[in-house]
Amino acid sequence: MIAIEHLVKTYGAFTAVDGVTLTVAPGEIHGFLGPNGAGKTTTLRIIAGLLQPTSGRVVVNGHDVAGDPEAAKSSLGFIPDRPYLYEKLTAGEFLRFHGGLFGVDGAGIADRVREMLELFELSKWEDELVESLSHGMKQRLVMGAAFLHRPRAVVVDEPMVGLDPRGARLIKDVFRRMSERGVSILMSTHTLEVAEEMSHRISIIHRGRIVAQGTVDDVRRLAGGQDEHLTAVFLRLTGGSGLQEIDEVL
């Protein structure tokens, strides 16, 4: 369960997140959509406890992120948009290191690392340095690290960027299975097809505010475009861009 109430984040006079309220129920995949600069990453980093909100509250699996950050973080898997990996560790070492941070150690860790390497199709890269992995392999390694400690909630910023079709399919299947087991997943994405295919509910954020929330069909209805492609709905709700302007410049 992830619950955000009236979240605000300001930078000086600029308000990046402006009163966001959103819940992700157990087993729900929630798509978090919005134009560049809308406030998605800022919101996700606050949930992960990496950024202090100006005001508002975040509760992860019953733990207040401000009041009990350790408990909140230990029940959360966070996959940032630009993860930092230790390039000089091997893939296996990276996973074991991550497991240690989350208290997965002792006898359980070797099995768990092997499971993650197998799941994310990285077994033959176990002893290779992270720096020698391709972008998509690194992306899958980061997912393995984030899921190693069996989090009950997952926050993921742009999971599909740079994955090949097989990798994207794998990640979708993993998210679906996790959701079937009751994990709450909040996922930002610019790929509206992915959002539509995967999400039980979506939130569209624009200039720090939620402009639409609900099932994809709810959002379509709200925007008055029942049979419309989600892209058209998205553009209408977030200001869009006109071909006219493009023509003027070209």
Residues forming the site for ligand ATP (CB under 6 A): 11, 14, 16, 34, 36-42
Q: Look up tokens 């009236």; give the residue.
A: 6
| Binding residues with Mg ion: total (CB under 5 A) | 2
Reading the block at residue 187, the tokens are 């996922």
Q: CB under 5 to 8 A by kind: which of Mg ion, ligand ATP, none does 39 bind?
A: ligand ATP
CA separation for the pair 50, 58 (Å, rounded): 12
Reading the block at residue 138, the tokens are 């690194």
Residues 6+ apart with CB under 8 A from 183: 26, 27, 151, 152, 153, 154
Residue 41 or 75: the one with the smaller Cβ distance to ligand ATP is 41
Residue 198 or 205: the one with the smaller Cβ distance to ligand ATP is 205
Residue 18 or 126: the one with the smaller Cβ distance to ligand ATP is 18
CB 38 to ligand ATP: min, Å: 4
CB 58 to Mg ion: min, Å: 17
- Cβ atoms of residues 188 and 32 within 8 Å: yes
Q: CB under 5 to 8 A by kind: which of Mg ion, ligand ATP, none does 11 bind?
A: ligand ATP
SS3 category, 224: coil
What is the tally of helices (H) and strands (E) in the chain? 10, 10
Q: CB under 5 to 8 A by kind: which of ligand ATP, Mg ion, none does 37 bind?
A: ligand ATP
89 DSSP 8-state letter: S
Task: State yes or no: residue 43 binds Mg ion (CB under 5 A).
Answer: no
CB 96 to Mg ion: min, Å: 29
Q: CB under 5 to 8 A by kind: which of ligand ATP, Mg ion, none does 16 bind?
A: ligand ATP
Residue 122 or 185: the one with the smaller Cβ distance to Mg ion is 185
Alpha helices (H) in the chain, listed in sequence order:
40-47, 69-74, 91-101, 107-119, 135-147, 165-180, 192-198, 216-222, 230-237, 243-249
Angle (CA) 100 103 107, round 5°: 80
CB 20 to ligand ATP: min, Å: 11
Task: State yes or no: residue 41 binds Mg ion (CB under 5 A).
Answer: yes
Q: CB under 5 to 8 A by kind: which of ligand ATP, Mg ion, none does 104 bind?
A: none
CB 17 to ligand ATP: min, Å: 7
